[in-house]
């Protein structure tokens, strides 16, 4: 391929060298009646007659800003990996049942759930029970308020 190629030929040449064929993300900002509107376009740069030209390849309209930034990063040559490949999950704790109980308690007007802690005096009188109740409470105190 000759070195002075322009237009689509230049794009192919850049792609062969490992680039992204001049494709990039442009954020277009327009103001209308005091409100600023933004949309992202997928654009391609190329040379034609010694001048740099741009053409719109596609629109990224409706995508969240974070996803548009990911497109930008990929087009710059970054390799994105899922979090699951980056982090190792060592332990997970279920929380759905806790959220369900909390939501129900709030709907019923329960203001607070208090977990009583065994006293020092209880420790002296029944050390085995004290250890067990410190880890697993035997009862809960409930303070409720009148629903409005």
- CB atoms closer than 10 angstroms to residue 54: 13
The per-residue pLDDT for 78 is: 84
Return the higher-pLDDT residue of 55 and 103: 55
Tens-place pLDDT, residues 81-112: 887 777 787 888 777 888 888 788 777 777 56
pTM of the model: 0.42
Mean pLDDT of 128-143: 76
How far apart are the C-alpha atoms of 119 and 125, rounded to whole Å?
A: 10
- CB atoms closer than 10 angstroms to residue 5: 13
Tens-place pLDDT, residues 15-44: 444 445 788 899 989 999 999 988 899 999
């Amino acid at each position: 391929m000759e070195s002075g190629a322009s237009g689509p030929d230049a794009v192919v040449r850049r792609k062969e060298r490992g680039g992204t064929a001049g494709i990039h993300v442009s954020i277009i900002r327009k103001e209308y009646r005091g409100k600023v509107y933004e949309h992202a376009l997928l654009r391609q740069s190329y040379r034609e007659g010694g001048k740099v030209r741009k053409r719109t390849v596609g629109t990224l309209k409706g995508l969240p800003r974070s996803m548009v930034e990911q497109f930008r990063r990929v087009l710059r040559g970054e390799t994105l990996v899922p979090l699951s490949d980056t982090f190792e999950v060592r332990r997970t704790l279920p929380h759905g049942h806790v959220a369900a109980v909390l939501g129900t308690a709030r709907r019923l007007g329960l203001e607070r759930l208090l977990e009583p802690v065994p006293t020092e005096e209880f420790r002296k009188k029944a050390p085995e029970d004290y250890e067990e109740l410190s880890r697993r409470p035997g009862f809960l105190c409930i303070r409720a308020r009148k629903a409005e």
